[in-house]
Chains A and B, each alone.
Chain A
Amino acid sequence: MRVPALVGALSRTRTSASLTDHLCMRDSALVEVQHLTKLFGNFKAVDDVSFFVRASEIVGLLGPSGAGKTTTIHMMLGLISPTAGSVRIFGKRLEENREQILQKVSFTAPYVLFPTRLTVFENLLVFARLYRVNHPSSKIRELLRMFAIEHLKNKPVSRLSSGENTRVGLCKAFMSDPKLLLMDEPTAYLDPQLALHVKEILLNMQYRSGTTILYTSHNMAEVEEMCSRIIFLNRGRVLATGTPIEVTQTILKENRTEPALREVFLHLARRQPNEVA
């Protein structure tokens, strides 16, 4: 099956899955976040967030700016310590098994950059060593080819455009053949054609290797297309979880037949802060 066809097929299957089915499969959770809370002074950035992600799922973590998505992802990487709650990945608690867990987890975000004086190859070689990748040079070449930036191999990162930088970040994320990919707006700086290419690669990876992906994006069409389930955050709290259609119905309180996440987004943005619970 060609990958663009796969995008449509998977998306149709995803929207028809029910929440009950997912809850029944909770036992096979690859990621389990329980009552995660983060306070910065008096400000509650993440407020009692609980969710799970099963193996081989692509789950969207959505919400307006300041909803707590990035803080949640950073807590899942151990970069921020939670005020309360726990993160379990591959059935192990992150706090006690950070090294073991992160060997099989990758992260990418457009706001994370590389040392600018190092070339693309040198930067990727550093990460190949960190993950102890076998045959790092050929792996790097393969990834550069996959993301169509082979010609940038010997260029210093300082001379790359934002889109090229994002693709180097994606090469890094795929370096260790991760079991879990955490992606914070991975297509933010990419033009539509490249964004489509990246989506195809992600779906291909999930289809072939069963990679689990937790994905944040402000592009609602992309999320509807990619994700089997959505966790919708607002002001640090989980507002709704389920398939895109279930989330649409829960938040808009309307009986819809098609997912409308963009509408959900605008609906939340228009509401007064004290109305949004």
Chain B
Amino acid sequence: MKSHRIEAIILRHTCEARHNLNRIAEMVYWPVQNIVVWGFFTVYLARDNHLRPGAVSFLLGAAILWGMFYAFQRDLATGFLEELWSRNIINLFSTPLSISEYLTGLIIVNLLKALLGMIAAALTAWVCYAYNIFPKSLALIPFMLNLALFALAIGVIIIGLIVRYTTRIQTLAWSFAGLLMPFSCVFYPLNSLPKLLRPFAWVLPTTHAFEGMRQAIQGGGFSTLHFAWAITLNALYFLLAIPIFRMMFESARSRGLLVKLE
């Protein structure tokens, strides 16, 4: 991998973000809007004593972290879709740029964008609702890392699927994380899910990240169990994502789809 080619991809997507209002809106507007809505909701519930102690923190903390996870996964896939929509894919891959260099550049830009969005959401929660997530951030970092890794694995698989099945399935870029949300126990504990669904939820790193987050926010300390599960599952999904992506990419190259994608 050559760093100048990774820099080129970072430059390309940074310029895109600067000129494209949609990208700016996705990066800051939606995370902030999400927190404002959740904030009002928690204020309402807290006022009438409908909430258990600490629930405001769970809800706002979960909204901030889910926002980061969703934004990273979506922006990875839409970043690639930008190349297809602008018919730039032949331009890029007729240079020495390798697919791993391209993906590394895309990951760096979109991770930074997701982190910026998360900081904007966290500042909104702090300023508007006096909810300060920053003192807990040290305990939350391992779980945020797991969320980012899972978003990355899903993002890579979705890009692979788009390469192979073209923009017909581009809706996956926006919708796939939503499909996982009910089973990821973002706003409620795992034991509130029906028993039938719990094994499925258990194999999602997101479930363990949010369970760990709740324990950390509640002051229950760092959950080694949930962290170990999340990181092991992420390693497995990542090991699965790479060959799936390679298979899809090679299949697209063989079918001549790389030059027909748009």
Contact = CB atoms under 8 A, between A and B. Distances in A.
Interface of A: 38, 40, 45, 71, 74, 77-81, 98-100, 102-103, 105-107, 109, 111-119, 122, 125-127, 129-132, 156, 172
A107 B92 CA distance: 10
Q: Which 4 A-B pairs have the closest CB atoms?
A: A129-B8, A117-B19, A107-B94, A113-B87
A116 B20 CA distance: 10
B45 interface: no
Residue from A112, A122, A130 whose CB has the most chain B CB atoms within 10 Å: A130
A81 B251 CA distance: 9
Interface in B227-262: 250, 253-256, 258-259
Given A118-B12, A118-B19, A77 B86 contact: no
A144 to B, nearest CB: 17
A115 B96 contact: no
A94 to B, nearest CB: 12
A40 B95 contact: no
A115 B94 contact: no
B198 interface: no
Nearest to B22: A117
Contacts of A78: 93, 253
A117 B254 contact: no
A79 B90 contact: yes
Interface string B103-139: 0000000000000000000000000000000000000
B80 to A, nearest CB: 13
Nearest to A156: B19
Nearest to B8: A129
13 contacts: A78-B93, A80-B259, A99-B96, A102-B94, A102-B95, A112-B88, A113-B86, A115-B83, A117-B15, A117-B20, A127-B95, A129-B7, A129-B11
Interface in B63-103: 82-83, 86-88, 90-98
B15 A122 contact: yes
B94 A80 contact: no
Given A80-B258, A102-B96, A131-B95, 17 more contacts: A100-B96, A107-B90, A107-B94, A112-B87, A113-B86, A115-B83, A116-B86, A118-B16, A122-B11, A122-B15, A127-B91, A129-B4, A129-B7, A129-B11, A130-B5, A130-B97, A132-B2
A45 B98 CA distance: 26
B12 A126 contact: yes
Contact of A74 (B11, B97, B256): B256
Nearest to A113: B87
Given A103-B96, A107-B94, A172-B91, A115 B259 contact: no
Contact of B8 (A103, A112, A118, A126): A126
Nearest to A182: B94
A112 B91 contact: yes
Given A79-B253, A99-B96, A112 B90 contact: yes
Contacts of A118: 12, 15-16, 19
Contact of A79 (B2, B7, B94): B94
Contacts of B250: 81
B88 A115 contact: yes
A113 B8 contact: no
Contacts of B4: 129-130, 132
Interface string B17-45: 00110000000000000000000000000
The winner among B8, B16, B91 for most chain A CB atoms within 10 A is: B91
A132 B97 CA distance: 11
Contacts of B8: 126-127, 129-130
Given A127-B95, A130-B95, A79 B11 contact: no
Contacts of A172: 91
A130 B98 CA distance: 10
Contacts of B5: 129-130
Contacts of B16: 115, 117-118
A172 B258 CA distance: 20
Of the listed residues A105, A109, A115, A117, the one surrounded by the most CB atoms of chain B closer than 10 A to its CB is A115
A38 B90 CA distance: 19
B254 A126 contact: no
A126 B258 contact: no
B94 A126 contact: no
Contacts of B258: 79-80
Contacts of A116: 86
